[in-house]
Amino acid sequence: MSKNILITGVSQGLGLAIARAVLAAGWNVHGVSRRLSAEFAALQRGHAGRAHFHAFDLGRVDAVKAELCEPFLPLALPLHGFVNNAAVAYDDLVANLDAARLRAMYEVNVFTPMLITKHVIRQMLLKQVAGSIVHISSISVHTGYKGLAMYASTKGALEAFSKSTAREWGERGIRSNCVVAGFMDTAMSAGLTAEQREKIHRRTALQRATSPDSVAATVVHLLGDGAASITGQNLFVDSGTI
């Protein structure tokens, strides 16, 4: 059966890799990001009628219902999965913490995904869909990294949210899991120096960056019927951080 999968942050990096993997699984993508990238547009051309796109700035928490959910995800659309991938990273020492930047990061990484989850669950209830919610978390939640305390706290919030979402909606067959991704060579970690990268890689069993395609394949598994008994879990795809 084909599925409709909502994915945020599809313009580049991991979100694009997830969109590609979801399309390869034969399912439809409903992608959201601030702008339509050339890469996602190419996916749309290659999968006629199966890769939908809606431009929305996920920092606009108060506009989620009117400008994202109502126009792009009408209640009549059966939604089988939601991949909460979009995130921003505000990296700094705790001693330099800036409230405005912290708030802006929480809006994108935590508040908007929670509101989208509300809408997604309502759609699943209406259409009686035993759907799957997947949050992309980060290894920084479980292993401390200098400069990532604020960012890691947003992902930790999502892990807690996912756990109770799983408990709350399990009796309706709705599942919620987190994929805990290790450091990937994507735009989000572009600010790291070669030395910093090397140091991070040395902290993993595989001694290398996490592959976005491996993370994407795990997401596809969690979205699929093969994961029907997996919920409330954190799956680590992180090159074996030690």
Partner 1 sequence: MHSDLLRLIDEVRANKKQPPASGVTRATRLREELGFASLDLAELTVRIEERFGVDVFADGLVQTVGELDDKITRAGKK
Query: Per-residue string for binding with partner 1, 153-172, x by CB under 8 A?
Result: ---------------xx-xx
Which residues inside 169-228 make contact with partner 1, applying CB under 8 A?
169, 171-172
C-alpha–C-alpha distance, residues 51 and 73, integer Å? 14
Query: Per-residue string for binding with partner 1, 59-98, x by CB under 8 A?
Result: ----------------xx----------------------
Q: Which stretch binds partner 1 (CB under 8 A): 55-63, 98-106, 122-130, 135-143?
A: 122-130
Nearer to partner 1, 34 or 167 (CB): 167
Please give the angle made by the CA atoms of 180, 81 and 28, to the nearest 5 degrees.
115
Is 134 buried (19+), middle (13-18) or exposed (0-12) by CB count in 10 A? buried
By the rule CB under 8 A, 126 interacts with partner 1: yes
Nearer to partner 1, 98 or 168 (CB): 168
Nearer to partner 1, 36 or 61 (CB): 61
Report, in Å, the least distance between residue 126 CB and partner 1.
5
Which residues are at the interface with partner 1 (CB under 8 A)? 75-76, 121-123, 125-126, 128, 168-169, 171-172
